[in-house]
Amino acid sequence: MTSADDTYTVAVRVKPGAARSRVGGRFDGPHGPALVVAVHAPPVDGRATEAARRALADALGVRPGAVSLRTGAASRDKLFLVDRPPAGLADLVSRLRDGTDR
């Protein structure tokens, strides 16, 4: 996770085809420690990516339009950008990733 002026980057590992959607857990991937996002949607035609974007927005308490894909459209390892992140977002992501806020 990195921060810029008014955006925040979140590394995510998407697990498509899950029984239910869930945000939480850690995966050490190519972008560093990533937040695990399990989604019910299949990895077809970008459906899992869209479901992950919406689940991430919901878990972070931001509107879905504030979260966009930066890289990883065809990969399970993705970087999402959060526009105008609320205060405390970095702490929330850390808690979700490290299992102290599920």
pLDDT at res. 99 = 84
- The 10s digit of each residue's pLDDT in 54-66 is 999 999 999 999 9
Amino acid at 101: D
Residue 79 is part of which domain span?
2-85
- The 10s digit of each residue's pLDDT in 80-93 is 999 999 999 999 99
pLDDT-based confidence at 4, cuts 50/70/90? low
Domain count, the chain: 1
Domain membership flag for residue 91: no
Domain membership flag for residue 100: no
Domain membership flag for residue 70: yes
* 51 token code pair: 């479901």
Q: Give dist(CA 72, CA 78) in Å, integer.
A: 4
* 40 token code pair: 């019910």
pLDDT at res. 2 = 59
Domain membership flag for residue 47: yes
Q: Give dist(CA 26, CA 12) in Å, integer.
A: 9
pTM > 0.85: yes or no:
yes
Domain membership flag for residue 102: no
Q: Give dist(CA 102, CA 99) in Å, integer.
A: 6
Domain membership flag for residue 42: yes
Q: Give dist(CA 15, CA 21) in Å, integer.
A: 9
Domain membership flag for residue 13: yes
CATH number of the domain that residue 32 is part of = 3.30.1200.10
Domain membership flag for residue 94: no
pLDDT-based confidence at 102, cuts 50/70/90? very low
pLDDT at res. 5 = 61
